[in-house]
Amino acid sequence: MQPVSEEFLLSLAGAAATLIGAFLVGVIFYLDSDVHRSMNEGVADDSFMRSGTRWVFIIFAIPLMVPLTLVGLGAFWGTVVFVGLSALAAASTVDSVNRILMSGIVKSMSPTQSVALAVNQIVSTLAVVLLITLPWLLDGWSPRKSAFVPSLLLALAVGFSSTAALVMSIFDLSKGNRDASV
């Protein structure tokens, strides 16, 4: 693997911080929206949105915190932070899948929304498994800084696609609420 520069790692962390900020603004606007107020009747829907929001924050925390730790404290502590955040990502992924399966939320959504969220959940779950194992697959038991880069980029991509899926599902819910009131 090619060595990775500290500037690249810090730029990656900056991109993650920007995406977290944009996502946080979106969450604040969503919480203040009519769509969220109308969903208070559907506890399963709100529970799924909360679970998905937590998952996105954890996924974006990986490319934010790991590069900062790798640059500031070195590969050992970067690995420790990566393992800790990966464990949180795995637990959050299992929780999101359980909420989808147990609550029947996919059945209560429109057909296009159900498919988009279900596909996103499947792809995201597979991506989490890959991003957790990738540094060790690429570089053995003691991965160098550069071995984390593919996982960090994958976390950014999956977090972004999940953000897009959540936003589009909210647009679909909003459209469904408008159509139902007409």
Instruction: Walk along the chain (182 residues) and give the pLDDT tens digit of each residue.
Output: 778 889 999 999 999 999 888 888 777 766 655 555 555 555 445 666 777 788 889 999 999 999 999 999 998 999 999 999 999 999 999 888 787 776 555 555 544 455 677 788 889 999 999 999 999 998 888 888 889 999 999 999 999 988 887 777 766 665 555 555 54
- Phi first, then psi: give them for residue 8, nearest 5 degrees: -65, -45
Residues in Cβ contact with 47 at an 8 Å cutoff, skipping those fewer than 6 apart: 99, 103
User: By C-alpha distance, which of 112, 113, 4, 131 is closest to 48?
Assistant: 113
Domain borders along the chain are 6-181
The pLDDT score that the predictor gives to residue 112 is 45
Q: What are the structure tokens assigned to 56, written together?
A: 């996105």
The pLDDT score that the predictor gives to residue 133 is 94
